[in-house]
Amino acid sequence: MIPYGRQNISQSDIDAVIETLQSDWLTQGPAVTAFENALKSHCTSQYAVAVCNATAALHLAYLSLEIGKGSLVWTSPNTFLSTANAALMCGADIDFVDICPKTYNMSVEALIEKLQKADKEGRLPSLVVPVHFAGQSCDMAEIHKLSIKYGFKIVEDAAHAIGGKYLDKPIGNCKYSDITIFSFHPVKIITTAEGGALLTNNKDLFDKISLLRTHGMTRDPEKMNKPSEGAWYYQMVDLGYNYRITDIQCALGLSQMKRLEEFVNKRHSVRNQYESLFSNIEDVIVPYQSTDSYSSLHLYPVQVGKDKRKEIFDILRASQIGVNVHYFPVHLQPYYRRLGFYEGYCPNAENYYHSAISLPMYPDLTQNQIEYVATKLKEALT
């Protein structure tokens, strides 16, 4: 089976993990700090906090921005469940902004229209969460301008996008957002097995996130309500969570960061080969790449037509090609339907879903495998 995505683990990665296992620190140690430093150095942000997964990162991001009961969060329906679920975990209300049919990212035009209507109705969002789907950045400069006009905060869900760029700057620099989150799941660009991170340029947010990551506990005398009783002493000053990541995971992540550029370049090589092979096939729409963005290419979703998608999907799976579909629109999940969402609420996202298939996309794909995928897709279309 050729999977749609998979990790690349080198001997250097294995050695880094073994070295950590043989050290004095397995968690809350120097590898966590080193990984965070590597993230903020690459992304040119001021602060980074590594956590156990990207869902935890989203939850902490929303909490640090004081999202809670009475808050309204808007995001894309073309995303994994956690982007929306984390808002509900905070007690907030959720809504969705339709996608651009070209980029599959949040549509700025749809966002403007929705904001204008919400302004008249007196129910503007507290937070907007653009999702950099498949690794391509949303139009963050325009979304940021709207945030200034309408007064909402921004969290970039860049779970797919480490190693990508927007306007020639690394995604994660937070120039146009309050916080950016990443995922390090095995099928992502780099992996820590499971893991996530938050990046920000705001020290107050960094301090809040760091506190909430570990049960709201502090040993900082300046944050306590009375003098410390000794070196053992700590106080819980807020209600936090155990969202820590281990040194073992961060040792792997730190080693993987050394090959981040290599991984993204190889993904672009795979993309170039696919697009050459599909250049004369009218029935396949390949992913659009904006000139403002350099995608990290976490996914390679093609569109094959609503009437043919399931048949083609089944043929490819039977041919030992592990295609997938990203994503079933969040607002059409049974839970979200019970909140009042319905078919036709985000028509562009729904139309995209019905014709989308994610082809294999990862650095270790061989030329023979790429050609095999393309051949089987051509056969399935005929």
pLDDT in tens, 233-265: 999 999 999 999 999 999 999 999 999 999 999
Kindly tell me if the per-residue pLDDT of 110 is higher than 90.
yes
Residues 110-119, mean pLDDT to the nearest whole number: 98
- Look up residue 227 and give its two tokens: 């003098």
127: amino acid identity, one letter: L
Residue 237 is classified by DSSP as -
Helix axes 11-21, 247-257, angle to 10 degrees: 150
Q: What is the DSSP letter of 106?
A: B
- Can you give the pLDDT at residue 239? 96
* Angstrom distance (rounded) from CA 124 to CA 84: 17
Residue 279: CB partners within 8 Å, gap ≥ 6? none
Burial of 282 (0-12, 13-18, 19+ CB in 10 A): exposed
The token pair at 50 is 């590594």
Q: What residue type is assigned to position 107 of the chain?
A: S
Phi/psi of residue 186, each to 5°? -55, -30
Looking at CATH, the fold of the domain delimited by 2-257 is given as Aspartate Aminotransferase; domain 2 (3.40.640)
Residue 305: pLDDT band (50, 70, 90) is confident
Phi, psi of 83 (to 5 degrees): -60, -45
381 is written with which tokens?
Answer: 């279309």
Do strands 196-200 and 179-183 pair parallel, antiparallel, or not at all (unpaired)? Answer: antiparallel
Question: 69, 85, 22, 90: which is closest to 247 by C-alpha?
Answer: 22
Question: What amino acid is encoded at 171 in this protein?
Answer: I
Express each pLDDT in 326-375 by its tens digit: 999 999 999 999 999 999 999 999 999 999 999 999 999 999 999 999 99
Same fold, 2-257 and 260-381: no
Domain boundaries, the chain: 2-257, 260-381
Q: How many CB atoms lie within 10 A of CB 123?
A: 11
Rg (CA), the chain: 21
The residue among 50, 203, 189, 85 whose CA lies nearest residue 132 is 189
Structure tokens at 116: 């204008």
Distance CA 229, CA 2 (A): 59
Q: Is the torsion defined by CA of 96, 101, 105, 111 positive or negative?
A: negative
Q: Would you say the pTM of this structure is higher than 0.95?
A: yes
Nearest Cα neighbor of 234 from 226, 246, 243, 242 is: 226
pLDDT in tens, 125-149: 999 999 999 999 999 999 999 999 9
Comparing C-alpha atoms, which of 111, 120, 181 is closest to residue 152?
Answer: 111
Please tell me the predicted confidence (pLDDT) of residue 115: 98
Residue 171: band (very low, low, confident or very high) from pLDDT cuts 50, 70, 90: very high
Which of 28, 20, 61 has the alpha carbon at shortest distance from 244? 28
Give the integer Cα–Cα distance in Å for 347 and 3.
29
Give the whole-number percent of the chain exceeding pLDDT 70. Answer: 100
For 59-95, b/e burial (b = at least 16 CB within 10 A) is bbbbbbbebeeebbbbbbbbbbebbbbbbeebebbbb
* Mean pLDDT (the chain, rounded): 97
Q: What percentage of the chain carries pLDDT values higher than 90?
A: 98
For 42-89, what is each residue's pLDDT tens digit?
999 999 999 999 999 999 999 999 999 999 999 999 999 999 999 999
Question: Which CATH superfamily hosts domain 260-381?
Answer: Aspartate Aminotransferase, domain 1 (3.90.1150.10)
Provide CB contacts within 8 A for 182, sequence distance 6+. Answer: 39, 54, 57, 158, 159, 161, 162, 172, 188, 196, 197, 199
Our CA angle for 76, 80, 85, nearest 5°, is: 80
For residue 306, what pLDDT is reported? Answer: 87
- Check residue 245 and give its pLDDT: 98
| Residue 279 amino acid letter | S
Residue 382 has pLDDT above 90, yes or no: no
User: What is the C-alpha to C-alpha distance for residues 363 and 357, in angstroms, rounded to an integer?
Assistant: 19
Q: What does the pLDDT read at residue 280? A: 85
C-alpha dist (Å) from residue 328 to 260, 352, 357 = 29, 9, 11
